[in-house]
Chains A and B, each alone.
Chain A
């Protein structure tokens, strides 16, 4: 009897904590939606979603999302293009090739990489990487999308490495043994058997990496220059959605049009990360089957 009661209490507690998480997500969404809708009362949705200018303090203000959205998109694509080959490569090395002593060292180094505060990376970007890229590529300024992409790639690496490593380890040993049995070399087994079998997990890793990159704020605010232009290349200063919210939130009077516009940007960001995480989740599920 006593056991039953305690079991019941514990079960309810666990259930409650699960429900609370759902409640948090839903209420954050509703909160963002409520304040964004206040913007659309005074500013048209079309001008917001397809406007080409972000001029929040002009008279009249313009809240066009396009430059910010493209800024985020460019930086993210750049970061993923740099980080995925590197991340998946090192995951395969750690999981399949590296001798066991090196494996442990590499794994802890990856964890250390994850522990670097983003503001420190941003600082490295300002004083070292930006000027370096400017000289190396003969740019006008080192504060550009590429600097942001490179630093964000570093930030997403640990996520991509550890999740793809799990995926690679999760491939049944028999697959590889069968490949060796058929006379495949180590490279052939890795490239043709292990990698395709782990692909769902790797896609999930990439998706979570994207989620990490697109939501990152401090680094991009410090190094990308924040010009609200419609970017045409990564070698140009650009402004992301996250940097806009962080840079402008402090000066808005709560309840003003500008304040609601930033919430609307936040809503778009939330929807994007939600979709990305959803895709990642589906891929992870498929990988486990």
Chain B
């Protein structure tokens, strides 16, 4: 009995090793991090695995904080993040012999979404600040219905949470100690925010613009003057106020299969996947050439 199993296993291993070209790259890449990027990274990896069938890429979300923490803890090869690493994190990483190398892979706008039946179309950054810090609690203050505002946020592990906190809750002021209103609901994924906004007329939530769909309404956002929709053109031209880069982090210069993967993501085929997932590619020209 045991002998048969061993034989079958041996045959299986032999069968596998037979058809691998010795020059073909093989390996396993663990990619972890931002929930904003997770779908795009999944699409990139599927394309990548078509080109390199013997390299297996595993993509996990959880939030930028999760990715960065696991890069520092040595449990992933590539960390995806929708925020920059904090100096404190880099310091801890260096102490553990991890030297993060940052690569910008795409640009994203943080979209604010509300329910389809909410009459509000546009808000300023200042309005958002009031809403998310709890200084304004009713939609009628902004010309909407008389309903209490339900603010939705991502969990603290989310890079979008950090970005939003710095840019909106603290209005970009260094040393500000303002916090999200404690009434804010902290949901564990971007999809959960979509579900709640689609079902709840009084809800407002933020997420990467890749998650904007017909089931919810994205708001036009302005600093003071003209309001812009979160779309590829407005983010590319930096008109949309909540635009930000998305990053890949590796430990030192990527090597081996990691380098293959990172180069693929930055190359035309990878960049096109980012564009299809609703993000703004970094090198427009590369993608434009690919499209012709």
List chain A positions with a Cβ less than 8 A from chain B: 53, 55-59, 67, 126-127, 130-131, 134, 140-143, 221-222, 225-229, 237, 239, 247-248, 250-254, 256
Interface status of B269 (Cβ within 8 A of chain A): no
Give the CA-CA distance A127 to B92 in the complex, in Å.
Answer: 41
| Sample of 7 further A-B pairs with CB below 8 A, known A58-B177, A59-B177, A141-B185 | A127-B195, A142-B199, A229-B183, A247-B157, A250-B66, A251-B64, A252-B69
Would you call B148 and A140 a contact (CB within 8 A)? yes
Would you call A142 and B200 a contact (CB within 8 A)? yes
Residue of A nearest to B177 (CB): A58
The tally of residues in B whose CB lies under 8 Å from a CB in A reads 35
Stretch binding the partner chain, chosen from B186-194, B215-223, B249-257:
B186-194
CB distance from A162 to the nearest CB of B (A): 32
Interface status of B168 (Cβ within 8 A of chain A): no
Residue of A nearest to B202 (CB): A140
Interface status of B89 (Cβ within 8 A of chain A): yes
Residue of A nearest to B161 (CB): A57
Please provide the chain B residues from 133 to 189 with a CB less than 8 Å away from any CB of chain A in the complex.
147-148, 150, 155-157, 162, 177, 179, 182-188
Interface status of B65 (Cβ within 8 A of chain A): yes
Give the CA-CA distance A227 to B185 in the complex, in Å.
Answer: 5
Task: Please classify the interface of chain B as helix (H, G, I), strand (E, B), loop, or mixed, using the class held by over half of its residues.
Answer: mixed
Assess A251 versus B73: contact at CB under 8 Å? Given A228-B186, A237-B185, A256-B92. Answer: no
Give the CA-CA distance A237 to B202 in the complex, in Å.
Answer: 15
Would you call A251 and B199 a contact (CB within 8 A)? no
CB < 8 Å neighbour of A226 from B70, B179, B187: B187
Interface status of B40 (Cβ within 8 A of chain A): no
Give the CA-CA distance A254 to B185 in the complex, in Å.
Answer: 26
CB distance from A42 to the nearest CB of B (A): 14
Would you call B186 and A141 a contact (CB within 8 A)? no
Would you call A141 and B200 a contact (CB within 8 A)? yes
Residue of B nearest to A128 (CB): B199
Would you call B188 and A247 a contact (CB within 8 A)? yes
Residue of A nearest to B186 (CB): A226
Would you call A58 and B179 a contact (CB within 8 A)? yes
Would you call A250 and B69 a contact (CB within 8 A)? yes
